[in-house]
Amino acid sequence: MTSLAQAHAANDRADALEEHMMHELEHIVTKSVLFTLADGKVGMESGQSLMAKNPGKYMLMGADPRLPQMPAKPTLIDYFRCRFASTSHLLQSATHALKGGHDEKVVLACLLHDIAVVSFIRCDHGYWGAQMIEPYVDEEVSWAVRAHQALRFFPDESVGYKYPDMYRKLFGPDYKPEPYIVEAYQRARDHKHYMTARLICLNDIYSFDPNAKVNLDDFTDIIGRHFKQPKEGLGLDNSPSAHMWRTMLWPTRFL
């Protein structure tokens, strides 16, 4: 079998397993188009066809029973524990900033800078991440999270920031950022919060040290002081980005 045929066979097995799991569940769990785009397919299964395959069942319109259960009024820390796929990079970057004696807002910006990647989506993660936190943090923090995406690609000798070796490894030696990133960087240079975004880059730790002790508990107080946790629960409030948190809360809801 060629490797392509093997990949197809593995894909078919995964689809079959998924279908089997769907039948095991009480409700019909659906994937949004974005999930299938990530598998290289443009398409979606209609509600009617799913109903036909699962007689007697209704569409899932709430929590996905396969995921860790979230409390009724979730906090940012609950998302860290139950929805973020990986937190070591964030915790290590924030720990680095804390040890460097930076302002608490800088530490929070480091702690949150890649939350979009670990919870939501990679493409344009700085923009998504900033939008997610915008209603709940000081404008300096969300601005810096948005801008770090562009700034990461450009050195700043004045603070000793070089183009990351990791990017050369990840994207190849010839990779050039798209024009919108170049423009975002140029705009950011003159902004009053430029240095906050630059400090995210300086504390952005790629080489995770397995012996480093990092703990979310070290940041509970900073989160408490600088992240405005809505009393209704994060995602269940009426903020302009609540729907993004709700989507993480219930990622497979039919509508």
Q: Which residues bind Fe ion (CB under 5 A)?
A: 114, 204
Nearest CB to Fe ion, comparing residues 22 and 117? 117
CB of 229 to Fe ion, least distance (A): 23
Nearest CB to Fe ion, comparing residues 89 and 228? 89
Cβ atoms 83, 70 nearer than 8 A = yes
CB of 98 to Fe ion, least distance (A): 16
Nearest CB to Fe ion, comparing residues 91 and 223? 91
- Residue given tokens 């109903």 in the structure block: 51
Nearest CB to Fe ion, comparing residues 185 and 230? 185
CB of 163 to Fe ion, least distance (A): 14
Nearest partner of 56 among 25, 32, 16, 31, judged by Cα: 25
Token reading at 246:
């709700």
Nearest CB to Fe ion, comparing residues 78 and 114? 114
CB of 111 to Fe ion, least distance (A): 11
Is the sign of the CA dihedral 34, 37, 39, 43 positive or negative? positive
CB of 110 to Fe ion, least distance (A): 8
Distances (CA, A) of 208 to 87, 212, 246: 11, 8, 30
Q: Is 122 exposed, middle or buried (0-12, 13-18, 19+ CB in 10 A)?
A: exposed
Nearest partner of 144 among 203, 91, 100, judged by Cα: 203
